[in-house]
Amino acid sequence: MSTDIHRLLDEAFAGVEMTPDAQDLKEEIRANLVARVAELEVSGRSSTDAAQLAIAELGDVRELLEGAGATTSDSTRADESYAAQQLRHRVRPKVGFVVRVVVWSLAFVVGMTLAVLGATGVLPLPIGSIIGLMGFASTGLGLVVGDSLSQETTTNHPVPPNRAGGYFLATLLASYGLGFAGLVALGAVPMWCVVFAALGVISSIILFAFLGASQTNRHKAWVRRAQHDAANVSNRFEDEPETAARFGIYTAVIWVVTFAVIVVLVFTVGWWWAPLAFVAGFALMMLVLARMMFGSRKT
Amino acid sequence: MTQDDAFAADLLRGHTDTIVLGVLRRGDRYGFEIYKSIRDATGGDHEIKEATLYATYRRLEKDGLVESYWGDETQGGRRKYYRITDAGRAVYGRNVSAWVATKRIIDSLLDVKDQTNEH
C-alpha cells in the first residue's frame, strides 16, 4: 500500500479549517479511501492510479463541510418554543391502544386481587388456580408495558416489535417472580417454591439489563434538535466557574448544618424527627441550586 | 448517461436515507461497505455518489437515526462504523410502508402490469 492516498487526502483538505468536525470527516474518509484503493488494486490498477481514481470519485470535500454547516443553520428554528414544536408534532394516542391498556390493566388488577385473596385464605381457591391467576395478572402487566412501548409518541419513535416483546417478557417474569415470592411469604406454597421466585426475578433482571444496555435512541429529530438548542443556551456552571465553586461551598455548609441538626434532634426530641431535617436540607440545596443556575446574571 | 438512467438515479437518490437505513439494518457497517452494498445492488449502474452518502450519514446521525463509533483498526486509518438506532428502525419501517403504498399507486397509474407481462 502506497502512501499516495494520504498525501492526496491532505491535498484535498488543504485550506479547510480543521475543526474537530472536519478532522472527524477526514479520518472517516481516509479509512474508506484505503478500502476503495485496495479494491481497485485487486482489480489490477497500479497503486498511484488507484489512489488518484479514488480521490477523484470522492469529489470536493469542501462542499461536504459547507453542506453540513448549511444544514445545521437552517434547521435551527430556535425561535419556535419547545411547547409550540410539541404541539406541531403532536401524536394522539390511538383509541385501540387506550382500550387495550384498560383491558390489560383490569386483567392485572382482577388477577392480582383474586390471587391475593386466595393466598390469604379469604377465598377458598386451590393453589393451582392461584398460580394461574398470578400468571394472568403478570401477562396483563407485561402487555401494558410492551404495548405502551411499541406506540409512537409525540417525542419518541415506537420501540421495534422484538424489543417491545423483550420488555413484555421481562415484565412478565419480574411480576411472576415477585408474585411467587409473595405466595411463599404468605405461606400459601412450600418454602422450596422460592426457587421459582428467584428464577423469575433473576432472569427478568438479566433481560432488563440486556435491553437497557442495548437500547438506542428513540427520540424524534425535532426533540433532538430542541435538546441540542437547549444545551447551547448555556450551562451557567460552565460559563461561570466561580458560581459553581460558590454552590459547592453552600452545599457543603447546608449538609454540615443538616447533619448537626439531625444529631441535635436525635438527642433532644427523638430520632423520628431526623428525616425532617434531611428533607429541609435537601429542599434548601435545591432552592440554592435553582437560584444559582437561573438567577439574574451579572454581566 | 441516458435519460432513463438519469430518471432512475433521481428516484434512487430520493430514497438515500431509507436505503442507508436498510443496509444498516443488516448490521453495523462503515462508509465503504455501505457504498459497496448499494453499488452491488444497483449492479454498478446509476449508483449513489459518495459525497451524497457522507451528507446522508451526517444528517441521519444528527436526527438520531444512526449512531457512529470508531473501529479499532490499527492499519490504514480507523473506520467510522454506523449503527441503526431504534428510532432509525421505526423511521425505516414507516418509509418502507410509504414506499410500498406509493409503488402500488404508481404501478397502477402507469399500467406497469402490462409492461412486465410483455417481457
Closest CA to A282 of A250, A258, A263, A264: A258
Q: Taking CB atoms and an 8 Å cutoff, what residues of chain B touch A219? A: 64, 87
Shortest distance, CA B4 to any CA of chain A (angstroms): 22
Q: What is the C-alpha to C-alpha distance for residues A212 and B2, in angstroms, rounded to an integer?
A: 51
Instruction: Calculate the average pLDDT of chain A.
Output: 85
pLDDT confidence band for A74 (50 / 70 / 90): very low
Q: Which residue among A194, A223, A252 closes a domain?
A: A223
List pLDDT tens digits, range A268-282: 887 788 888 888 989
Average pLDDT (A180-201) is 87
**Cβ A31–B90 below 8 Å, yes or no?**
no
Report the residue of B32, B36, B75 to disrupt the A interface, i.e. the one with the largest count of A CBs within 10 Å: B32
Closest CA to A64 of A97, A109, A21: A21
Q: Note whether A169 and A193 are same-domain residues.
A: yes
Q: Note whether A217 and A99 are same-domain residues.
A: yes
Q: Is the pLDDT of residue A134 over 50?
A: yes
Q: Give the distance from CA A215 to its chain's centroid.
A: 7
Please name every residue paired with B67 in a beta bridge, in sequence order, or none if there are none: B83
Residue A168, amino acid = F
Do B81 and B33 form a contact (C-beta atoms < 8 A)? Answer: no
Structural domain includes residue A229 = no
Q: What is the C-alpha to C-alpha distance for residues B86 and A215, in angstroms, rounded to an integer?
A: 7
Q: Note whether A250 and A171 are same-domain residues.
A: no
Q: Is the minimum CB–CB distance between B62 and chain A shorter than 8 Å?
A: yes
Q: What is the C-alpha to C-alpha distance for residues A215 and B89, in angstroms, rounded to an integer?
A: 12
Provide DSSP, A195-255.
HHHHHHHHHHHHHHHHHHHT----B-HHHHHHHHHHHHH--HHHH-HHHHHHHHHHHHHHH
What pLDDT score was predicted for residue A72? Answer: 45
Q: Note whether A239 and A216 are same-domain residues.
A: no
Return the CATH architecture of domain B3-118.
Orthogonal Bundle (1.10)
Structural domain includes residue A53 = yes
Structural domain includes residue A88 = no
Phi/psi at B66 (nearest 5 deg)? -135, 160
Residue by residue, pLDDT tens for chain B (119 residues) are: 566 777 778 888 889 999 999 999 999 999 999 998 988 888 776 567 888 888 899 999 989 999 999 988 777 678 999 999 999 999 999 999 999 999 999 999 988 765 555 44
CB-based contacts of B76: which residues, under 8 Å, 6+ apart?
A: A1, A30, A31, A34, A35
Structural domain includes residue A128 = yes
**Cβ A32–B30 below 8 Å, yes or no?**
yes
Q: Note whether A97 and A198 are same-domain residues.
A: yes
Nearest CA in chain A to B81: A28
Q: Is the minimum CB–CB distance between B113 and chain A shorter than 8 Å?
A: no
Rg, C-alpha atoms of chain B: 16
Do A177 and A206 form a contact (C-beta atoms < 8 A)? Answer: no
Nearest CA in chain B to A60: B51
Domain of A38?
4-75
Domain boundaries, given as residue ranges, for chain B: 3-118
Structural domain includes residue A83 = no
Dihedral class, residue A91 (left if φ above 0, else alpha if ψ from -120 to 50, else beta): beta
Closest CA to A56 of A42, A39, A36: A36
Q: Note whether A100 and A143 are same-domain residues.
A: yes
Looking at the partner chain, which of B36, B55, B63 has a beta carbon nearest the beta carbon of A221?
B63
Residue with cell 461497505: B33
Q: Taking CB atoms and an 8 Å cutoff, what residues of chain A touch B44? A: none
Q: Note whether A284 and A258 are same-domain residues.
A: yes
Q: Note whether A132 and A212 are same-domain residues.
A: yes
pLDDT confidence band for A189 (50 / 70 / 90): confident
Residue A209 has, within 13 A of its CA and on its CB side, a CA count of 6
CB-based contacts of B48: which residues, under 8 Å, 6+ apart?
A: B12, B13, B16, B19, B35, B38
Q: Note whether A50 and A109 are same-domain residues.
A: no
Instruction: Give me the percent of chain A exceeding a pLDDT of 90.
Output: 25
Structural domain includes residue A155 = yes
Q: Note whether A64 and A178 are same-domain residues.
A: no
pTM for this prediction: 0.69
Structural domain includes residue A246 = yes
Residue A228, amino acid = H
Closest CA to B35 of B53, B56, B55, B14: B53
Q: Which residue among A223, A258, A278 closes a domain?
A: A223
SS3 B81: strand
Number of domains comprising chain A? 3
Residue A48 has, within 13 A of its CA and on its CB side, a CA count of 0
Q: Taking CB atoms and an 8 Å cutoff, what residues of chain B touch A10? A: none
Q: Taking CB atoms and an 8 Å cutoff, what residues of chain B touch A160? A: 86, 89-90, 93
Q: Which residue among A46, A75, A104 closes a domain?
A: A75
Structural domain includes residue A87 = no
CB-based contacts of A180: which residues, under 8 Å, 6+ apart?
A: A131, A134, A189, A193, A194, A196, A197, A200
